Structure 1
Amino acid sequence: MKLNRLNVIVTVLSLGSIFAALGYTVSQLPPAPNQQASATEQPINPVANTAAISLLPQVGVVAVNGQQYQAEVIGFGEARPRYELTLNAEVSGKIDSVHRQFESGQVIKKGTVLGQINDISYQQALTQAQTDVAQAELDLLEEQRQGEQAKSEWLRSGFSGEPESPLVLRTPQLAQATAALENAKLTLKKAKQDVAYTKITAPFDALVVSRDIQPGSYVQTGTQLGTLYSVADVEINVPLSDLQWQNLPEFDNAQLAKTPWDVTLYSADGRNQWQGYIERVEQHLTQTSRQRSLIVVVDNPLTQQTHLYPGTFVKAQINGKSLSDLWQLPSSAISQQGDIWFINDSSQLAKSAANIAFEKDGFVYVLPIVSEQRGRPSLIQIVKRPLSSFKVGTKVLAKLEV
């Protein structure tokens, strides 16, 4: 009895397995033709559509529109002294002494005696010139007395009118004596000047750049004695392009003399800063760059908190005019070819040449793109970091970034 019951259970389990296998096989068979046709007529699955969109290349964009910004002009130049003097000897002679401050790196006051040329021969010439002046004055007085005597004798002679010869009244002799006195005075003036030139003096407050003489040197007229830079101020010649000039007001030298235009200067490494002003603008183009320059001045450069030494290369930051209808873009938005890539109405990549007005603090300010179909758009999506592999017309998915 027990054996029969076990056989029944085994038989039932076997039949269940067979039915399960048949059901799986039927489920794997292709649907009937009428069933396939009805499946194609069903609407597209929205999940599948979203998946297709997600396959588009994604690019980061910034949305921009035209706004008003103050232009900034950046230029570069070298700080140079207003006066750069090669000091030359005015007279010949032996150098008797040299001032202790007449050394490179020293700052000297105007009128400081830098050296002394032996002046014995010049003092002698001065004394002789003084003697000659005294003699000429005496000769003139004597000639004036003789002329008055000759005129008196002519009047006493009873002759009427003027004498036939000017020699009778000693007129030429008087002119000669007068000219001799003037010449003697000029000789005396030159002798005094030569004595003064034996003292080598600084013509202005100056920085000594070099000294080319020493005690015992013999110099001729015109011999180089040293090089001096003025220290009252320095000038920076800043050449600018036509576009940069357009971003600045119309400077007039007469107006700048009354109201200078402030300029901020930075060292090449950006660590040091100085305040200067535009003193004047040049009215010609340089032959090398074909650009026009403005002249920035910094007063008392060697008494600033950070000294501005002559020869320092600086960056000049100049605030310009206020310009309207500009796009502010990150610098990365300009491709290596100078183009702006943007997303058009069809979500496709497009590009246009960048018309840059100026750059400031990591941003570029450009004129808006003008389309023949739409004109100038009020808002547009600009690709933030264009790639060299971009192709015009490629459909993309824009991702707005800050």
Structure 2
Amino acid sequence: MNKKWLKTAAPLLVLALGFGAVKFLGAAKPEPEKKEEEAQRLVSLAYTEAREEAVHLAVNTQGEVRPHTEIDLTPEVSGRIVAISDSFAEGAGFEPGETLIQLDDANYKLAVARAEAGVAQAEVLLLQAKAAASIKRQQWLKLNPNKEPTPLQVNLPQVLEAEANLRSAQAELADAQRNLARTKIKLPFRGRVINREVGIGQYVTASTALGRVFATDRVEIRLPLTDSQLQELDLPMGFVASDKAPGPQVALSALVGSEQHQWHGRIVRTQAAVDQQTRLIYAVAEVNDPYGAGASNGVPLAVGLFVTAEAEGTRERHAVVVPRTALRSADKVYVVDEDDRLDIRTVETLSTSENRVVVASGIRNGERVVTSAVANAVDGMQVQPITQLARK
């Protein structure tokens, strides 16, 4: 029986002894040293101090370039087109007084010759009438030395009629000469052709549209302004610029090709009424010689171009100014507080340009605003401010 008991209890005894040995060794093993918790690595952020300055706010708006003068070209006389200048083609430019279209002038030359003959005939008749009147007067005075003759007795009405006929003949000659000159279709300004509607051999009348052209001496841009923007520029409704009161300068910019270009103009007038649909007031800016001296590095301010306009206000005010890189999501600025913690602020902006932001509220003078990129920004997070950036 003892052998049977030992045979049954032996495995349990071995298991118990093994478990006890493991517990004993575990308890005897020295505890590992506790490492100090590593400090969390802080995010390094570049900053600059916000500064309160006296500023003139920029007014930003947009508009389309339009010609100052744009007309439909029509002839003043009828005739068949016998020649068209190369300058009268879509997109081509022309000079003042350049003949763009030549009409057949044979009939008009004939009319001039006939009018010249009529003038010559009227001059002869006037000379004859004056000679006859002179003879009549001498005869009258010889017979009636102490009596003044009546106008009819000395052929004065005949002289006046001859003079009137001469003036009429001269007027007809001048009209014929003008019609002859009108067979050469010209314009008094430098310009460009929008489109051409006629060709050589076509017969045209005074109502025929030959094409459409515009002058290139200056262009204008119609700029929508809010009431506050109008006040910022110190422009009244119905403003018209003069030598004593020139309008504010305006910088116009647009992307042409792959390059940004800028042109300079001036606001010359404002509308005297509020637009009923948009409730805005429109100002008109002009740029002189946009295809010549007013071009930007050879790039003209072309008609039809959509541009961004920026005009500097005349009113001076004090406001907090920060770099453009400090503004995030249109109205957020990151500020590093006195405890080097990130404070995400919502600000009200007065003006935004390429380099700076003028802030009305949300930041105080001297506060540190973050100018570097921040990934996963969290309000209140601990940060490491680094070298202060120089303000431009």
Q: Same fold (TM over 0.5)?
A: yes
Task: Say whether the 8 Å CA contact 2:222–2:282 is kept in structure 1.
Answer: no
Task: Say whether the 8 Å CA contact 1:212–1:225 is kept in structure 2.
Answer: yes
Other-structure match for 1:297: 287
Residue aligned with 1:149, SS: helix
Q: Matched residues in 1 for 2:271 and 2:103: separation? A: 44
Q: Matched residues in 2 for 1:98 and 1:188: separation? A: 27
Other-structure match for 1:28: none
* TM-score using structure 2 length: 0.66
Question: Is residue 205 from structure 1 mapped to residue 195 from structure 2 by the alignment?
Answer: no
Higher alpha-carbon deviation: 142-151 or 184-193 = 142-151
Q: Cα–Cα, structure 1 residues 172 and 332, in superposed 2: closer, same or farther, change >3 Å?
A: farther
Structure 2: which amino acid aligns with 1:192?
A: Q
Question: Is residue 152 from structure 1 mapped to residue 145 from structure 2 by the alignment?
Answer: no
Gaps of 5+ in 2: 1-47, 336-342, 372-378
Task: Say whether the 8 Å CA contact 1:95–1:215 is kept in structure 2.
Answer: yes
Q: Cα–Cα, structure 1 residues 66 and 275, in superposed 2: closer, same or farther, change >3 Å?
A: same
Q: Matched residues in 1 for 2:240 and 2:67: separation? A: 23
Task: Say whether the 8 Å CA contact 1:123–1:195 is kept in structure 2.
Answer: yes
Question: What is the aligned-residue RMSD (CA, Å)?
Answer: 4.1
> Percent identity among equivalent residues?
26
Query: Residue 162 of structure 1: CA displacement?
Result: 4.2
Q: Matched residues in 2 for 1:328 and 1:398: separation? A: 25
Q: Matched residues in 1 for 2:274 and 2:108: separation? A: 47
Query: Residue 140 of structure 1: CA displacement?
Result: 1.2
Q: Matched residues in 1 for 2:163 and 2:351: separation? A: 72
Query: Residue 236 of structure 1: CA displacement?
Result: 2.0
Question: Is residue 173 from structure 1 mapped to residue 149 from structure 2 by the alignment?
Answer: no
Other-structure match for 2:208: 223
- Aligned counterpart in structure 2 of residue 263 of structure 1, from 239, 250, 274: 250
Query: Residue 170 of structure 1: CA displacement?
Result: 2.2
Query: Residue 97 of structure 1: CA displacement?
Result: 2.0
Structure 2: which amino acid aligns with 1:128?
A: R
- Aligned counterpart in structure 1 of residue 316 of structure 2, from 318, 323, 331: 323
Other-structure match for 1:312: 305
Residue aligned with 1:294, SS: strand
- Aligned counterpart in structure 1 of residue 180 of structure 2, from 174, 195, 200: 195
Question: Is residue 75 from structure 1 mapped to residue 90 from structure 2 by the alignment?
Answer: no
Q: Could you report, residue by residue, the CA deviation over 1:15-43 in whole angstroms, capped at 9, with x for unpaired residues?
A: xxxxxxxxxxxxxxxxxxxxxxxxxxxxx
Structure 2: which amino acid aligns with 1:315?
A: T
Residue aligned with 1:134, SS: helix
- Aligned counterpart in structure 1 of residue 354 of structure 2, from 356, 361, 364: 361
Q: Cα–Cα, structure 1 residues 208 and 252, in superposed 2: closer, same or farther, change >3 Å?
A: closer
Q: Cα–Cα, structure 1 residues 353 and 263, in superposed 2: closer, same or farther, change >3 Å?
A: closer
Q: Matched residues in 2 for 1:107 and 1:120: separation? A: 29
Q: Could you report, residue by residue, the CA deviation over 1:215-239 in whole angstroms, capped at 9, with x for unpaired residues?
A: 1111011311112222233222323
Higher alpha-carbon deviation: 259-268 or 289-298 = 259-268
Q: Cα–Cα, structure 1 residues 71 and 160, in superposed 2: closer, same or farther, change >3 Å?
A: same
Structure 2: which amino acid aligns with 1:236?
A: I
Task: Say whether the 8 Å CA contact 2:99–2:186 is kept in structure 1.
Answer: yes
Q: Cα–Cα, structure 1 residues 112 and 248, in superposed 2: closer, same or farther, change >3 Å?
A: same
Other-structure match for 2:40: none
Structure 2: which amino acid aligns with 1:169?
A: V
Q: Cα–Cα, structure 1 residues 199 and 334, in superposed 2: closer, same or farther, change >3 Å?
A: closer
Task: Say whether the 8 Å CA contact 2:62–2:306 is kept in structure 1.
Answer: yes
Q: Cα–Cα, structure 1 residues 228 and 378, in superposed 2: closer, same or farther, change >3 Å?
A: closer
Question: Is residue 281 from structure 1 mapped to residue 274 from structure 2 by the alignment?
Answer: no
Query: Residue 196 of structure 1: CA displacement?
Result: 0.9
- Aligned counterpart in structure 2 of residue 94 of structure 1, from 56, 63, 80: 80
Residue aligned with 2:195, SS: strand
Question: Number of aligned pairs?
Answer: 314
Q: Cα–Cα, structure 1 residues 101 and 232, in superposed 2: closer, same or farther, change >3 Å?
A: same
Of Structure 1 and Structure 2, which has the larger fraction of its residues in helix? 1
Q: Cα–Cα, structure 1 residues 242 and 353, in superposed 2: closer, same or farther, change >3 Å?
A: farther
Q: Cα–Cα, structure 1 residues 283 and 156, in superposed 2: closer, same or farther, change >3 Å?
A: farther
Query: Residue 318 of structure 1: CA displacement?
Result: 1.8
Query: Residue 279 of structure 1: CA displacement?
Result: 5.8
Gaps of 5+ in 1: 1-61, 343-348, 370-376, 385-395
Structure 2: which amino acid aligns with 1:314?
A: V
